[in-house]
């Protein structure tokens, strides 16, 4: 049974490392903020989760394995919670500073919302480039 867990752990580690590598290449190759943000968020989290699962499977038969797996689960949960929030904040900042190409947007719901908030408060915050 330990040999099977080791092989599954190796597969998880390799798949996670490959996803993280592909995501890092995407960060360099993609031209705009939205595609880079997508690349930084989705494959990186899945790659990290696969690496954490691989480490957890490898360390589970150990004496302190259950505590280590618990710590890895907390790290994975923290990543799953914080990375989408960080990507959302990066997208909003990019939108407000005019770094997002409007031709790439299918729907621009944020413009209407920010414009109505600006009318209510008397400020202008929705596009720095306009």
Q: Within 10 A of 48 (CB to CB), how many other CB atoms are there?
A: 19
Closest residue by Cα to residue 34 from 126, 103, 81:
103
Q: Within 10 A of 81 (CB to CB), how many other CB atoms are there?
A: 9
Query: What pLDDT shows up at residue 125?
Result: 63
Digitized pLDDT (tens) for each residue of the chain, 130 residues in all? 789 999 999 999 999 999 999 999 999 999 888 888 888 888 999 999 999 999 999 988 887 778 888 999 999 999 999 999 999 898 888 888 888 887 877 877 788 787 887 788 877 665 544 5
CA 98 to chain centre: 22
Query: What pLDDT shows up at residue 129?
Result: 47
Span 73-88, pLDDT tens digits: 999 999 999 999 999 8
Taking the domains of the chain in order of start, what are their residue ranges? 2-121
- Tabulate helix, strand, coil % of the chain (nearest 5): 80, 0, 20
Token pair belonging to 121: 């408060």
């Amino acid at each position: 049974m330990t040999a099977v867990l080791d092989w599954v752990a190796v597969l998880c580690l390799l798949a996670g490392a490959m996803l993280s590598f592909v995501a890092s290449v995407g960060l360099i190759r993609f031209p705009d903020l939205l595609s880079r943000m997508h690349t930084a968020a989705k494959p990186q989290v899945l790659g990290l989760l696969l690496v954490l699962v691989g480490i957890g499977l490898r360390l589970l038969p150990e004496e302190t394995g259950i505590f280590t797996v618990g710590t890895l689960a907390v790290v994975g949960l923290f990543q799953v919670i914080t990375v989408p929030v960080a990507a959302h904040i990066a997208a909003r900042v990019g939108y407000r500073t005019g770094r997002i190409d409007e031709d790439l947007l299918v729907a621009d719901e944020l413009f209407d919302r920010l414009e109505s908030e600006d009318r209510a408060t008397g400020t202008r915050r929705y596009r720095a480039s306009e």
